[in-house]
Amino acid sequence: MTLLNQLTLDAVMRLPIGDLVDLPAEELARLQTEADDNLRRAKALVAWLDSALLMKYAERAKAARADAEKDFGTARFTDGDVTIVSELPKRVDWDQHELGALVERIKSEGDDPREYVEVSLKVSERKYNSWPLHIRKLFEPARTVRPGAQSFRLILDKEGM
């Protein structure tokens, strides 16, 4: 393909996937780079606009939540003919050491801590791989390995450009 008849990203969206598969690797690499660049620009634009909206409406959203006697959640107000909906989610973090001590205390008092807390056990894959074989074998029945999402990054050789 020459520079004059290169596919645009808009045209790619209208192509059947089988036609994309048939494109040369160089063209796929160019399209992937262009799409990645557009995504980076779009994310930067969204972040820039979000910053402006935060500066413009944060105080009004805070006041709307205060009027509703809540610290988090949804606040609605208007600016001219536009309804502004502000979402402020609640994020709660728990001190793991403190929770562990509470679980032990609940156990010692004869209660079942699972009625109050969710316990999640994890094993670092790096640590697992460094364990002696006899320890790893003990853990194998509890371990499931499955693939993550496969991705491809196409990089054009500088010499081929």
Spatial distance between the Cα atoms of 9 and 11, rounded to a whole number of angstroms? 5
Q: Rounded mean pLDDT of 4-23?
A: 90
Give CA–CA dist 78/84, Å, rounded. Answer: 6
Question: DSSP string covering 10-73, please?
Answer: HHHHHS-HHHHHTS-HHHHHHHHHHHHHHHHHHHHHHHHHHHHHHHHHHHHHHHHHHHTT-SSE
Are the C-beta atoms of residues 17 and 142 closer than 8 Å to each other?
no
From its phi and psi, is residue 53 left (phi > 0), alpha (psi between -120 and 50) or beta?
alpha
Q: Above 80 in pLDDT, residue 19?
A: yes
Average pLDDT along the chain: 91
What number is the average pLDDT over the span 4-16? 88
* Residue 40: predicted pLDDT: 97
Q: What predicted TM-score, i.e. pTM, was given to this entire model?
A: 0.69
> What value does the mean pLDDT take over residues 116-139?
94
Residue 115 has pLDDT above 70, yes or no: yes
Q: Decide if pLDDT at 21 tops 80.
A: yes
Q: Is residue 24 scored above 90 in pLDDT? A: yes
128-137 pLDDT tens trace? 999 999 999 9
Type of residue numbered 110: G
Q: Delimit the domains of the chain by residue range.
A: 3-90, 93-121
CA distance 47 to 141: 45
